[in-house]
């Protein structure tokens, strides 16, 4: 139980570091002087000290939504597969619930965007709605497909099962699901070909546009929600698609898990450096790919059993 | 004798079909009715049926003489068009008449196996019904249409006389009553034409 | 005795119609109400009741039809009282109308109560000829033309009926002799007819005559045109009463034909009525005025009644018949009011009726309109349920079950087209167009109320049991 | 005459749950209506007839109430018939519902053999002897689904529901559609049992299609009530997916799973009733205040109508199937039942079910987008029209109606186990074994899927933890005492005004572009440019109208065909004006000929002869020579 809580706290703490790490890696690759990987914390601390400015166009939604954006994600953290064998985990929560919780968070984020009455907020919400509408089916399908392979619809249990018995006979489905999930990871977290978190350019931004009018603590909450979302996706990917290293003793297993997370982050950074941001209306091509792979994975499993 | 009169009946009807003058048409109708009345008389005499004889006499008086006379009077009073050209071309008509006859004989053929009555009488009655209809449809004017309607009445009398050897007296009288009523109504209808403001 | 009792009102009416007194109008109307008295008495007598030896026999079926017809007659005369408020009509035409109405009524009593084909036909012919003149009470060229039209087509149809009757008589004569024209004897001995083909031929000719007269295929529009041209009470009489005289003949003839060869009868009538409804449905789809719409829908309902009857659901047929007999005249009468006020406009025809009378009027007309497309709780809803039920169970016993079910489906879809059109018309009447001040008179309203009450009476359990007992 | 088994009672309860808050709401709405008597009369008759349908025990009563329900709802749509579109919508609705009735009628006539007052058991006996059960099934399907609004018989919904007064829309969409679902339960179980596999697959496919198409058309809608109506199509689709899965499992003999799927369908039926009624009520409240159904004219209403906005938010979360709402729970059950099919060995199912899963997943994503749009554009931001500016909260009765309905939604969320137990009893009443024990094996906290290795969800834990975490954070925020200042929005330095906001059209733009192939939109773009500069303009307007594909394909073409036919029939019928005797001549000829040919020895030769003779006769006598 302690291990369980500890790992959650660890992941929450790791979240800002991971995002800063991606940024730093990118800067290194672009021959810039990298930022510190603790930049996330610095930003957080800075924002926490600022006063909150609420624009007068907004309504009650703005004062509640940030918490409602964060809380489903925090709840989700409790449902992730274990990172160490023997630690407590919530075995039974399935893909639909996890996707639902993430969607709940996105739902309020989009409302937040629309609440400020600015063109940017609406634009961001509109794009986010578009992207998440395409992401959700793919995500549900992917996780379901993987959990079916693992023999249990509960994601936590699926992670454990996969670690114990890797589904070699379903390699094809597994691979498809993996590709799909990685695309989703990029799309849902607003990484480069889908969104560019670093610019505030109206043509490109999605996530940043929605939170353009937030300041202070609210912004801090939203930023940490974003980083937690990334860590959720990353750890899901790590548990479901890299199911090894759990059987070691706790410190080593945790270390292995952190390494996995950093590998994923590096992959994302590499991808970001090497691709250009897609036009908004090209995004469906990418997400369509994710949906197709997710669907393929499910149907391959269903029909061919492969 | 019966067959001969029926033949004349049919012949007068067919001739009426090709008539182009109104008075000539009335004449043929009158002959047609006379044949019918004579037929009734002859059959009535042979089977010794008084009702039939009365029918025959009434037919001759009312249909053979009375109605054509009234119609002629009406036509003079209301200035009917006396030139009546058939709408259907003669070429078609000369094909249609035999075709109808053939058809009705074909139609009544099964009856001969079932019943002792002469099926040919039924056939001829039906064909005269069709011919009367043909008479009605080949003219646009009202007067020949009335004649057509009256010939229809004749043809069903023919059926009644020849195929069933007469209907119950009450019915026959009723039919005559209705016929008179029809004439009255027709008369009134023409009158209205005059009254029209 | 009973006969003179029955005919007395008509004779009084005939005689009074020659008086030139202005007050006679009310006496005429009153005498037409009296019609109901002997009929109710007849209705209560034990059945079968011989009125005139074996020629006129009252049984349950014909007293029902007669009762329905007399109520319709009363409603129509009620509406006649205020006819001159809506259209130009001279007192002379009034009296003439009643004169011929009296003759019509005599003919009707004979044909409905007849137990004898000949007498039936005589009555029918009398009624037909007298209606010809009733059309003419409207002095317009159109009415004149249509009166001629009716005269000729009606004469053809009636002649066909007689021709068929004689053929049937010929087929029955070898076994029954002179009594071969009596319906009950013929029904009892139908199986023994030596030449069924002759009988069927006669039946076919009679039926075609009747169908032409009821406006079935191919003569769908002639009734509509006549009703358009004549005064609306005449149209109401046509659809409410004359048709009932014909349909009762059909009931009787087809009962015998069922005994002779059911399959032939069924297929013949089925195909004919489906064809009729097919044509009528599309004609209704295009109909643009009330008269034509209602008379076409009258044709549709007559087709349904015949179909229900031959499908072996006499209960449904009679219920439908009763409902139709009350609804159609009611609609025609209200059409008279609607048109004289709204001048042939459908849009907004039901709007602008103010006050208690006006509200009651539009409410009743709406009810009638919705009842005619058999929405519950209209009696037609139930009759159609039972009628189609009989058709389906018929279909299940036949060798061509799927084809028959398909035919019923086709029929129902055709009815949906009619339904659509009526809904559209109703909505246009109630919700579109401009609102203008309009009036309605007490007597017309009273007539409509009479019809509405009669309709409700049809739904009483007692009535339904009675109808079930007829078959 | 009447039946009161668990199924009926559950649906009576559904109707009452839907109707009672609605009556409150309707009381508040009443001053807004001109024809009060007309409205009240039909309103109560409507509720009464719906109850009548679900408790009737024979075909006669059922059909009577069914038609009464159609009739009254049609009249209710016409209550405020001021616009032509309302009148047309009412007409369309009525003809569609009549179309369904035709098939229902046929269905009942076949299974009752004409005795309309027999009970269900006797109907079953007759139906089992009928040679073509699939025909019966399709009649039933056409009959009920045209009422329920499943694809492709859904077209009337987006027209009829917006046209009705708001309480009626809520009743129609929330409750009336469910009566059709009742019909499916009742007659598929009690009369047409057992089911071939194809039936289940048919329903599953129809459900999947409906859910996708419904949500896609909802997204492109700017009329708030039409949007909600399209969502009804979607939700009916979801119910049908559950229902179809139940049928499939039943055919395969997996009775536990089957019962589970049926419970899911029933649960979703209830949920949809609750949240759709609530949505229509709050949309009606907005409409009541702003006098327009166009979403582009709303905005900022949360500030003036907080209760309405909260009600809409609750319902929106629920309909978007976001945890921990009741909508989420029922969809979760449907998902679980579909996923339990992985070991079924039937290739058609293996293909059909993943598609249905996909459709359902896709629907969920799109529904969220749609409700963000609906909620955001309506309630958030700045008011977009003067009407929205002058809006204020609705009166007490309307508010109380919404609050009551919100309680229904919440109760479905909080007391899920209780409801499930109840639905379980329904299925037990229909001859199944109870699965309640398997769904809630250890208390009410965890809800289990009954499939092998099925998932588990714990609605209450989710709810409490979400509530707890949020409350904790807000508490912390309060404790911190963060300084708050109200100021103009920054918006990258641009001035914010009602005109700079995103519109509903704009919001749905990306998705609309993605589904262009389906929508085939009709775009109008006008721009008043200044001095020929492309980028500088004084005013511009952009309108987009989505073409309803199904309507065009199925309905317009039918209308065209009928028109065409009627034209020709009309022309034909006019021959009788001049050629009546020829007509009678020919009909006589046909009848006699046919009697002769068919009564006696039938032979093809005579038949052909008859045909030729008839053709010639018709040609000569009726058509005549061309002048």
CB-based contact D595 C152, cutoff 8 Å:
no
CB-based contact A120 D491, cutoff 8 Å:
yes
Touching B: which chains, 3+ CB pairs < 8 A? C, D
Q: Does A180 touch chain D (CB under 8 A)?
A: no
Touching D: which chains, 3+ CB pairs < 8 A? A, B, C
Q: Report the distance separating Cα C354 and Cα D34, nearest Å.
A: 15
Q: Report the distance separating Cα A25 and Cα A68, nearest Å.
A: 32
Same domain, C306 and C254: no
What is the pLDDT, as a whole number, of residue B114? Answer: 67
CB-based contact B110 D596, cutoff 8 Å:
yes
Determine which of A180-184, D300-304, D473-477, D551-555 has the lowest per-residue pLDDT on average.
Answer: D551-555
Q: Does B98 touch chain C (CB under 8 A)?
A: no
What is the pLDDT, as a whole number, of residue D241? Answer: 94
What is the pLDDT, as a whole number, of residue D531? Answer: 76
Touching A: which chains, 3+ CB pairs < 8 A? D
**What is the domain range of residue C360?**
261-471
What is the pLDDT, as a whole number, of residue D12? Answer: 94
Determine which of B78-92, C68-82, C391-405, D239-253 has the lowest per-residue pLDDT on average.
Answer: B78-92
Of D60, D574, D587, the CB nearest to C385: D60
| Number of Cβ pairs < 8 A linking chain C and chain D | 165
Helix (H) or strand (E) holding D544: strand D537-545
What is the pLDDT confidence band of residue D491, given thresholds at 50, 70 and 90?
confident
Residue C229 CA to its chain's centroid (Å): 18
Q: Report the distance separating Cα D187 and Cα D189, nearest Å.
A: 5
User: How many CB atoms are located within 10 Å of the residue B114 CB?
Assistant: 17
Say what percent of chain C tops pLDDT 90: 10
Of D562, D574, D580, the CB nearest to C417: D562
Beta strand pairing status for D522-529 and D537-545? antiparallel
CB-based contact B106 D596, cutoff 8 Å:
yes
Mean pLDDT of D284-300: 88
- Residue D478 pLDDT > 50: yes
- Residue B197 pLDDT > 50: no
A window 244-273, beta carbon within 8 A of D: none
| Average pLDDT across chain A, whole number | 86
Q: Does D391 touch chain A (CB under 8 A)?
A: no
CB-based contact B133 D585, cutoff 8 Å:
yes
- Residue C178 pLDDT > 50: yes
Sign of CA dihedral D239, D244, D250, D254: negative
**pLDDT tens digits for range C94-111:** 788 888 888 888 888 888
SS3 D457: strand
Residue D294 phi, psi dihedral angles, 5° rounding:
-80, 120
Determine which of D93-97, D255-259, D531-535 has the lowest per-residue pLDDT on average.
Answer: D531-535
Mean pLDDT of D184-202: 89
Domain residue ranges in chain D? 1-193, 491-549, 550-623
What is the pLDDT, as a whole number, of residue D208? Answer: 92
Of B107, B126, B137, the CB nearest to D582: B137
Mean pLDDT of B38-65: 86
- Residue D51 pLDDT > 60: yes
Determine which of C334-343, D60-69, D201-210, D451-460 has the lowest per-residue pLDDT on average.
Answer: C334-343
**pLDDT tens digits for range A247-292:** 888 888 889 999 999 999 999 999 888 888 888 778 888 888 888 8
C195 contacts in chain B (CB < 8 Å): 111, 114-115
CB-based contact C167 B189, cutoff 8 Å:
no
Domain boundary among C204, C225, C260: C260
Q: Does C52 touch chain D (CB under 8 A)?
A: no
- Residue B193 pLDDT > 60: no
| Contact yes or no, C with A (3+ CB pairs under 8 Å) | no
What is the pLDDT, as a whole number, of residue D316? Answer: 93
| Number of Cβ pairs < 8 A linking chain B and chain C | 121
- Taking CA–CA distances from D498, the nearest residue in chain A reads A117
**pLDDT tens digits for range C166-176:** 888 888 888 88
What is the pLDDT, as a whole number, of residue C172? Answer: 85
Q: Report the distance separating Cα D41 and Cα D345, nearest Å.
A: 55
Beta strand pairing status for D484-487 and A52-55? parallel
How many domains does chain C divide into? 2
C438 CB burial (10 A radius; 0-12, 13-18, 19+): buried
D598 contacts in chain C (CB < 8 Å): 264, 267
Residue C55 CA to its chain's centroid (Å): 23
Q: Does B191 touch chain C (CB under 8 A)?
A: no
Q: Which of C224, C315, C398, C412 to mutate to test the interface with D (most CBs of D within 10 A)?
A: C412
Say what percent of chain B tops pLDDT 90: 3
What is the pLDDT, as a whole number, of residue D175? Answer: 92
C209 contacts in chain B (CB < 8 Å): none
What is the pLDDT, as a whole number, of residue D294? Answer: 87
Q: Does C151 touch chain B (CB under 8 A)?
A: yes
Kindly report the pTM of this predicted structure. Answer: 0.89
Mean pLDDT of C16-28: 76
- Taking CA–CA distances from D599, the nearest residue in chain B reads B110
Q: Does C167 touch chain D (CB under 8 A)?
A: no
B141 to A298, B138, C136, D545, D594: CA distances (angstroms): 83, 9, 19, 60, 32
Mean pLDDT of A8-34: 90
**pLDDT tens digits for range D530-539:** 777 777 777 8
What is the pLDDT confidence band of residue D206, given thresholds at 50, 70 and 90?
very high
Residue A195 phi, psi dihedral angles, 5° rounding:
-145, 155
Same domain, C203 and C293: no
Q: How far is B105 from chain C (nearest CA, A)?
A: 13
Mean pLDDT of D315-344: 88
**pLDDT tens digits for range C397-438:** 888 888 888 888 999 999 999 999 999 888 888 888 777 777
Say what percent of chain A tops pLDDT 70: 98
- Residue B196 pLDDT > 50: no
Q: How far is B137 from chain C (nearest CA, A)?
A: 11
**What is the domain range of residue A261?**
2-304
CB-based contact B175 C162, cutoff 8 Å:
yes
Strand partners, D39: none
CB-based contact C133 B153, cutoff 8 Å:
no
| Contact yes or no, B with A (3+ CB pairs under 8 Å) | no
Same domain, C277 and C251: no
Mean pLDDT of C296-309: 91
User: How many CB atoms are located within 10 Å of the residue D611 CB?
Assistant: 13
Q: How far is D570 from chain B (nearest CA, A)?
A: 22
Domain boundary among C260, C278, C294: C260
D439 to A98, D136, D250, D251: CA distances (angstroms): 20, 34, 18, 21
What is the pLDDT, as a whole number, of residue B195? Answer: 46
CB-based contact C197 D132, cutoff 8 Å:
no
| Average pLDDT across chain D, whole number | 87
- Taking CA–CA distances from A123, the nearest residue in chain D reads D502
Same domain, C21 and C139: yes
What is the pLDDT, as a whole number, of residue A306? Answer: 62
D window 528-557, beta carbon within 8 A of A: none
Mean pLDDT of B169-192: 78
- Residue D627 pLDDT > 80: no
Mean pLDDT of D190-201: 88
How many domains does chain A divide into? 1
A27 to A223, C190, D279: CA distances (angstroms): 20, 107, 49
Say what percent of chain B tops pLDDT 70: 94
Which has more confidence, D157 or C219?
D157
- Residue C25 pLDDT > 80: no
User: How many CB atoms are located within 10 Å of the residue C142 CB?
Assistant: 14
Q: Does C442 touch chain D (CB under 8 A)?
A: no
Q: Does D104 touch chain C (CB under 8 A)?
A: no
**pLDDT tens digits for range D101-125:** 999 988 998 888 878 888 888 888 8
Q: Does D112 touch chain C (CB under 8 A)?
A: yes
Would you say D383 and D299 are in contact if contact means Cβ atoms under 8 Å apart?
yes
């Amino acid at each position: 139980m302690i291990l369980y809580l500890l790992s959650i706290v660890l992941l929450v703490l790791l979240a800002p570091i991971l995002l800063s790490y991606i940024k730093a890696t990118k800067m290194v690759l672009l021959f810039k002087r990298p930022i510190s990987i603790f930049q996330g914390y610095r930003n957080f601390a800075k924002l926490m000290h600022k006063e909150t400015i609420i624009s007068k166009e907004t309504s009650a939604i703005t004062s509640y939504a940030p918490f409602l954006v964060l809380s489903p994600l925090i709840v989700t953290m409790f449902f992730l597969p274990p990172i160490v064998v023997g630690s407590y985990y919530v075995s039974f929560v399935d893909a639909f619930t996890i996707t639902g919780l993430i969607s709940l968070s996105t739902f309020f984020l989009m409302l937040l965007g629309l609440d400020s009455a600015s063109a940017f907020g609406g634009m961001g919400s509109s794009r986010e709605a578009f992207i998440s509408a395409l992401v959700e089916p793919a995500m549900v399908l992917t996780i379901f497909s993987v959990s079916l392979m693992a023999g249990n619809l509960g994601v936590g249990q699926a992670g454990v099962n996969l670690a114990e018995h890797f589904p070699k006979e379903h390699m094809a489905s597994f691979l498809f699901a993996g590709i799909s999930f990685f695309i989703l990871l990029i799309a849902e977290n607003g990484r480069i070909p889908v969104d560019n978190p670093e610019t505030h350019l109206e043509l490109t931004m999605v996530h940043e546009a929605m939170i353009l009018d937030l300041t202070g603590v609210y912004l801090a909450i939203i930023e940490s929600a974003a980083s937690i979302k990334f860590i959720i996706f990353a750890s899901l990917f790590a548990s479901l698609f890299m199911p090894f290293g759990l059987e070691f003793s706790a410190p080593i297993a945790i270390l292995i898990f952190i390494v996995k997370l950093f590998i994923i982050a590096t992959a994302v950074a590499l991808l970001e450096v090497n691709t250009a941001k897609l036009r908004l209306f090209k995004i469906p091509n990418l997400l369509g790919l994710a949906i197709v792979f997710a669907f393929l994975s499910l149907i391959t499993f269903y029909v061919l059993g492969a | 004798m019966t067959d001969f009169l029926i033949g004349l009946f049919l012949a007068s009807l067919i001739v009426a079909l090709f008539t182009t003058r109104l008075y000539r048409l009335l004449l043929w109708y009158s002959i047609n009715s006379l044949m019918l009345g004579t037929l009734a008389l002859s059959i009535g005499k042979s089977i010794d049926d008084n009702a039939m004889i009365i029918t025959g006499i009434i037919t001759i008086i009312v249909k053979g003489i009375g109605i054509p006379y009234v119609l002629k009077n009406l036509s003079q009073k209301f200035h009917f068009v006396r030139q009546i050209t058939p709408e259907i071309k003669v070429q078609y008509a000369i094909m249609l008449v035999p075709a109808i006859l053939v058809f009705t004989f074909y139609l009544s053929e099964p009856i001969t196996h079932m019943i002792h009555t002469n099926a040919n009488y039924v056939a001829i009655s039906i064909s005269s019904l069709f011919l009367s209809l043909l008479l009605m449809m080949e003219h646009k004017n009202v007067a020949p249409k009335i004649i057509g309607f009256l010939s229809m009445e004749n043809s069903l009398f023919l059926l009644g006389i020849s195929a069933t050897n007469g209907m119950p007296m009450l019915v026959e009288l009723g039919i005559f009553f209705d016929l008179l009523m029809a004439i009255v109504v027709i008369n009134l209808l023409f009158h209205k034409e005059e009254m029209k403001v | 005795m009973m006969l003179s009792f029955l005919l007395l009102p008509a004779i009084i009416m005939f005689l009074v119609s020659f008086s030139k007194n202005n007050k006679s109008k009310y006496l005429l109307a009153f005498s037409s109400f009296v019609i109901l008295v002997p009929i109710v008495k007849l209705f209560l007598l034990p059945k079968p009741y011989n009125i005139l030896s074996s020629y006129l026999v009252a049984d349950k079926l014909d007293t029902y039809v007669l009762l329905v017809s007399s109520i319709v007659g009363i409603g129509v005369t009620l509406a006649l009282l205020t006819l001159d408020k809506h259209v130009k009509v001279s007192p002379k035409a009034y009296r003439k109308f009643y004169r011929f109405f009296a003759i019509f009524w005599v003919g009707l009593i004979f044909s409905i109560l007849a137990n004898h084909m000949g007498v039936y036909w005589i009555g029918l012919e009398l009624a037909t000829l007298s209606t010809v003149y009733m059309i003419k009470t409207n002095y317009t060229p159109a009415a004149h033309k249509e009166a001629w039209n009716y005269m000729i087509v009606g004469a053809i149809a009636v002649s066909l009926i007689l021709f068929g009757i004689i053929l049937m008589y010929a087929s029955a004569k070898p076994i029954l002799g002179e009594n071969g024209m009596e319906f009950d004897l013929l029904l009892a001995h139908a199986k023994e007819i030596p030449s069924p083909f002759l009988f069927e031929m006669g039946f076919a000719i009679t039926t075609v005559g009747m169908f032409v007269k009821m406006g079935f295929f191919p003569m769908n529009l002639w009734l509509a045109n006549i009703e358009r041209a004549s005064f609306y009470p005449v149209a109401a009489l046509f659809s409410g009463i004359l048709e009932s005289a014909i349909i009762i003949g059909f009931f009787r003839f087809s009962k015998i034909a069922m005994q002779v060869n059911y399959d032939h009868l069924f297929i013949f009538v089925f195909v004919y009525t489906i064809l009729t409804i097919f044509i009528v449905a599309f004609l209704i789809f295009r109909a643009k005025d009330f008269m034509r719409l209602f008379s076409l829908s009258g044709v549709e309902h007559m087709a349904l009644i015949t179909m229900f009857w031959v499908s072996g659901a006499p209960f449904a047929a009679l219920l439908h018949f009763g409902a139709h007999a009350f609804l159609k005249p009611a609609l025609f009468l209200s059409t008279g009011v609607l048109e004289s006020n709204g001048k042939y406009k459908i849009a907004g025809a039901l709007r602008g009726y103010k006050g208690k009378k006006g509200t009651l009027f539009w409410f009743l007309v709406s009810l009638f309109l919705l009842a005619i497309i058999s929405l519950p709780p209209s009696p037609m809803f139930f009759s159609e349920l039972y009628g189609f039920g009989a058709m389906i169970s018929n279909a299940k016993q036949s060798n061509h079950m799927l084809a028959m079910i398909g035919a019923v489906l086709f029929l129902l879809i055709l009815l949906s087209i009619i339904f659509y059109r009526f809904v559209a018309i109703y909505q246009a009447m109630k919700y579109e167009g401009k609102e203008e001040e309009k009036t309605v008179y007490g007597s017309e309203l009273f007539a409509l109320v009479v019809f509405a009450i009669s309709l409700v009476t049809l739904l009483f359990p007692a009535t339904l049991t009675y109808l079930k007992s007829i078959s | 005459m009447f039946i009161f088994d668990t199924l009926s009672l559950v649906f009576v309860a559904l109707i009452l749950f839907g109707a009672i808050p609605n009556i409150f709401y309707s009381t508040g709405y009443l001053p807004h209506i001109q024809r009060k008597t007309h409205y009240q009369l039909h309103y109560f008759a409507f509720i009464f007839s719906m109850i009548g349908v679900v408790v009737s025990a024979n075909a006669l009563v059922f059909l009577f109430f069914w038609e009464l329900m159609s009739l009254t709802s049609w009249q209710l749509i016409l209550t405020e018939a001021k616009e032509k579109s309302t009148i047309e919508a009412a007409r369309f609705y009525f003809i569609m519902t009549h179309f369904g009735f035709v098939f229902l009628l046929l269905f009942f006539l076949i299974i009752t053999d004409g005795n309309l007052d027999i009970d269900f058991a006797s109907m079953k006996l007759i139906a089992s002897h009928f040679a073509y059960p699939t025909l019966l099934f399709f009649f039933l399907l056409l009959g009920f689904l045209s009422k329920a609004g499943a694809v492709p018989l859904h077209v009337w919904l987006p027209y009829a529901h917006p046209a009705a007064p708001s309480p009626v829309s809520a009743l129609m969409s929330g409750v009336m559609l469910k009566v059709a679902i009742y019909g499916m339960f009742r007659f598929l179980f009690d009369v047409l049992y057992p089911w071939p596999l194809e039936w289940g697959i048919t329903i599953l496919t129809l459900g999947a299609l409906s859910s996708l198409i419904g949500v896609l058309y909802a997204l492109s809608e700017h009329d708030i009530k039409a949007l909600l109506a399209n969502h009804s199509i979607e939700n009916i689709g979801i119910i049908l997916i559950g229902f179809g899965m139940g049928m499939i499992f039943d055919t395969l003999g997996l009775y536990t799973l089957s019962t589970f799927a049926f419970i899911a369908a029933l649960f979703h039926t209830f949920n949809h009733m609750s949240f759709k009624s609530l949505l229509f009520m709050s949309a009606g409240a907005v409409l009541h205040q702003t006098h327009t159904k166009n979403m582009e004219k709303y905005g900022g209403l949360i500030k003036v109508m907080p209760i309405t906005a909260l009600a809409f938010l609750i319902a929106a979360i629920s309909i978007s199937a976001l945890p921990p709402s009741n909508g989420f729970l029922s969809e979760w059950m449907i998902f679980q039942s579909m996923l339990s099919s992985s070991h079924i060995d039937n290739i058609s199912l293996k293909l059909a079910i993943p598609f249905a899963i996909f459709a359902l997943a896709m629907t969920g994503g799109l529904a969220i987008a749609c409700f963000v749009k609906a909620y955001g554009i309506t309630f958030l931001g700045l008011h977009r029209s003067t009407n929205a500016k002058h809006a204020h909260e609705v009166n007490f009765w309307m508010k109380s109606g919404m609050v009551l309905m919100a309680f229904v939604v919440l109760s479905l969320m909080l007391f899920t186990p209780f409801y499930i137990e109840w639905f379980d009893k329904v299925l037990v009443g229909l001859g199944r074994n109870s699965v309640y024990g398997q769904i809630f094996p250890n208390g009410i906290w965890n809800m289990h899927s009954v499939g092998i290795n099925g998932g588990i969800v714990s609605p209450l834990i989710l709810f409490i933890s979400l509530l707890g975490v949020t409350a904790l954070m807000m508490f912390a925020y309060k404790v911190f005492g963060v300084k708050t200042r109200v100021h103009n929005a920054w918006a990258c330095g641009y001035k914010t005004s009602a005109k700079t906001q995103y519109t509903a059209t704009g919001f749905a733009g990306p998705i609309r572009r993605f589904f262009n192939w389906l929508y085939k939109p009709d775009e109008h773009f006008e721009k008043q440019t200044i001095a020929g500069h492309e980028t500088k303009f004084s005013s511009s307007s952009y309108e987009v109208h989505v073409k309803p594909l199904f309507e065009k394909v199925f309905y317009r073409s039918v209308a065209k065909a009928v028109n065409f036919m009627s034209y020709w029939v009309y022309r034909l019928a006019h021959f009788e004006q001049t050629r009546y005797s020829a007509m009678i001549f020919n009909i006589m000829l046909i009848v006699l000929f046919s009697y002769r040919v068919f009564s006696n020895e039938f032979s093809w030769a005579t038949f052909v002869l008859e045909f030729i003779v008839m053709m010639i006769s018709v040609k000569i006598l009726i058509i005549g020579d061309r002048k």
